[in-house]
Chains A and B, each alone.
Chain A
Amino acid sequence: MDAHPVATKKKKVPDWLNSSLWISAPPPADDRPHSSSPDPPAAPAEPLTRAPVPVPPPSAARKETPPEPEAEEPRDGDGGESRESDGPSAEEISRQSQLLAELSRKVVDMRELRKIASQGIPDGAGIRSTVWKLLLGYLPADRGLWSSELARKRSQYKNFKGELLMNPSEITRRLEECTTCDSELRSETSGILSRSDITHGEHPLSLGNTSVWNKFFQDTEIIEQIDRDVKRTHPDMHFFCGDSSYAESNQEALRTILIIYAKLNPGVRYVQGMNEILALLYYVYRNDPDEENGVSAEADAFFCFVELLSGFRDNFCQQLDNSVVGIRSTISRLSQLLKEYDEELWRHLEITTKVNPQFYAFRWITLLLTQEFNFADSLQIWDTLLSDPDGPQETLLRVCCAMLILVRRRLLAGDFTSNLRLLQNYPPTNISHLLYVANKLRVRGSN
């Protein structure tokens, strides 16, 4: 074993937990035990470039892991096709062909799809876009129904856009055209203009709750906030930010989706952070090589966003914060999970150094880890989150727990400030590795 300063063989900590396998991105000054610990991958801001394959293959690691024959292959270093380094590994290619085979079946076997997808979805050929749509229930399993479903949903979105984005002038005009006939308006050429009654008591300064105008002005505030957040989404990516009309059209799409969501869901409206979740979805769908899919990315992203958020809505609702389903309870479940698997770390974090999980886990959970890792890594994490049969909420908690466990050495050695700083700026790490640990947390019963 390596020289683990804090790893005393206490009864509660299982052996496998102390293996150097779990060390992630030790600080440079530290002595690296030996090459079996995976190197921290360089984390470029470029979206589609994956982390380079770390040099030591898992063969070295396999020696140290306890004989735990996993049905699926352990994640090797890389799940994606990195353009610059060596080409896709054999495993990668086989996964891609497996997925393609699965997707070309007449009726997709969802269980099988989930199993393959949870290992990571390759970047090419628009596979991820289709797989995510299947996983989120946007596309039915029966391939024959795809085109009709898509057409229906896309036209529904178009209707939403038409209805909900009308400004009150137009709305009142439509109301009038129903009630009065049009002709009397334009007939007078000269003379005193006659005053007519307003329809339904609608006028711009109306303060009534049902007034179209009033609602419009109330929505303006939310729309301003959405605007601000959309402009700040991923400023480093040309896809979202920049002077090109492409970037502007993407921002416009994000904005429209969020506005429509806010109008259709008065209970939640818009909460900061939804833009990050949506950005990831929209990016994947927009980059679908299939023309038609790329163009309708906005509609697809809207429905998938609704679906994805339906599981997490309670986290965003402020009134539910302290309830059984709210964010506080979710965070305490994370805490419980950590206590179950690594009591020493839990005790050190929460009791000794008093790092309240709300300080770091809030962002992890509400934003589905989009802010903790670079874009490419987030995509990989989401592959697992969406495909795991346990559901994204449960899987998310396991991944968060794994994140804590991976840096346990540094956490155990740190105090409040350094731990908090570490957790709020989670170091770049090997994602396959992280997901492997998260998966192990499910397989292992409670410690």
Chain B
Amino acid sequence: MVLVLALGDLHIPHRAPDLPAKFKSMLVPGKIQHIICTGNLCIKEVHDYLKTLCPDLHITRGEYDEETRYPETKTLTIGQFKLGLCHGHQVIPWGDLDSLAMLQRQLDVDILVTGHTHQFTAYKHEGGVVINPGSATGAYSSITYDVNPSFVLMDIDGLRVVVYVYELIDGEVKVDKIDFKKTTTTTAH
């Protein structure tokens, strides 16, 4: 039972001052084993804050990140799953699921986590699953101003993943979940 927090596109301090208070009250250290961050934090203070939540932190570079040394893409294995991480501004058209599927096949991962669109999506195709955790602060994106703060918590348990989606709608935290299983016969590319 491994808890993985996926979030990104916070754009602190340029577009948002901080995470919403209700999110912050839920995110306490000691519960989460890994954090994967799509990028655009943008400053070191956010990095440090995330580090206090969990020491195992993975970040890829978004186009506004001040830290230039984050990688463009990252892959890691957690339990039975291979996860891929990329900010997503490199993949055009932005948010296009077929292009993201191409990236996923390139990285050869079961779950690809990207951002940039600031909209939550979860999409399944033959190669695996693509998840976009949205923007954790609700910052405006290059595409739209209408953004609800959201992030994703994945509970990886053997071959099964439960994806909990936390969204702040009208000041209330709404939690949904998505369940999927990895079949053992996933084709290797």
CB-CB nearest in chain B for A207: B26
Query: Do A185 and B157 have beta carbons less than 8 Å apart?
Result: no
Query: Do B180 and A217 have beta carbons less than 8 Å apart?
Result: no
> In whole Å, how far is B126's beta carbon from the nearest beta carbon of chain A?
7
A167 neighbours in B (Cβ, 8 Å): 1, 157
Q: Give the interface segment out of A79-87, A192-200, A312-320.
A: A192-200
Report how many residues on chain B are interfacial, defined by Cβ distance under 8 Å.
28
> In whole Å, how far is B156's beta carbon from the nearest beta carbon of chain A?
9
B178 neighbours in A (Cβ, 8 Å): 193-196
For the complex, what is the distance from the CA of A292 to the CA of B129, rounded to whole Å? 50
CB-CB nearest in chain B for A185: B179
Quick check: is A153 within 8 A (CB to CB) of the other chain?
A: no
Quick check: is A220 within 8 A (CB to CB) of the other chain?
A: yes
Contact with A along B164-184 (1 / 0, CB 8 A): 111000000001111111000
Quick check: is B155 within 8 A (CB to CB) of the other chain?
A: yes
Q: Give the interface segment out of B10-18, B66-74, B87-95, B116-124.
A: B116-124
Query: Do B157 and A169 have beta carbons less than 8 Å apart?
Result: yes
CB-CB nearest in chain A for B101: A190
Quick check: is B27 within 8 A (CB to CB) of the other chain?
A: yes
Quick check: is B25 within 8 A (CB to CB) of the other chain?
A: yes
Place the interface of chain A in its size category: 20 to 34
A244 neighbours in B (Cβ, 8 Å): none
Quick check: is A205 within 8 A (CB to CB) of the other chain?
A: yes
Query: Do A189 and B153 have beta carbons less than 8 Å apart?
Result: no
> In whole Å, how far is A212's beta carbon from the nearest beta carbon of chain B?
12
For the complex, what is the distance from the CA of A194 to the CA of B163, rounded to whole Å? 11
Quick check: is A186 within 8 A (CB to CB) of the other chain?
A: yes
Quick check: is A41 within 8 A (CB to CB) of the other chain?
A: no
Query: Do A192 and B121 have beta carbons less than 8 Å apart?
Result: yes
Q: How many A-B pairs with Cβ below 8 Å? A: 71
B47 neighbours in A (Cβ, 8 Å): none
Residues of B89-117 at the interface with A, using a CB-CB cut-off of 8 Å, are none
Query: Do A193 and B3 have beta carbons less than 8 Å apart?
Result: no
Query: Do A197 and B124 have beta carbons less than 8 Å apart?
Result: no
A194 neighbours in B (Cβ, 8 Å): 178
CB-CB nearest in chain B for A182: B179
A198 neighbours in B (Cβ, 8 Å): 164, 175-177
Query: Do A193 and B177 have beta carbons less than 8 Å apart?
Result: no
B176 neighbours in A (Cβ, 8 Å): 195-198
A190 neighbours in B (Cβ, 8 Å): 124-126
Query: Do B123 and A185 have beta carbons less than 8 Å apart?
Result: no
Residues of A174-221 at the interface with B, using a CB-CB cut-off of 8 Å, are 185-186, 188-198, 201, 203-205, 207, 217, 220
CB-CB nearest in chain A for B126: A190
B162 neighbours in A (Cβ, 8 Å): 169, 172
Quick check: is A392 within 8 A (CB to CB) of the other chain?
A: no
Query: Do B164 and A204 have beta carbons less than 8 Å apart?
Result: yes
Query: Do A195 and B123 have beta carbons less than 8 Å apart?
Result: no
Contact with A along B126-139 (1 / 0, CB 8 A): 10010000000000
Most B C-beta atoms less than 10 A away, residue of A167, A191, A203, A207: A203
User: Which residues in A have some Cβ–Cβ distance to B below 8 Å?
Assistant: 167-170, 172, 185-186, 188-198, 201, 203-205, 207, 217, 220
Excluding A188-B124, A196-B179, 4 further A-B contacts by CB distance (< 8 Å) are: A170-B157, A189-B126, A190-B126, A217-B31
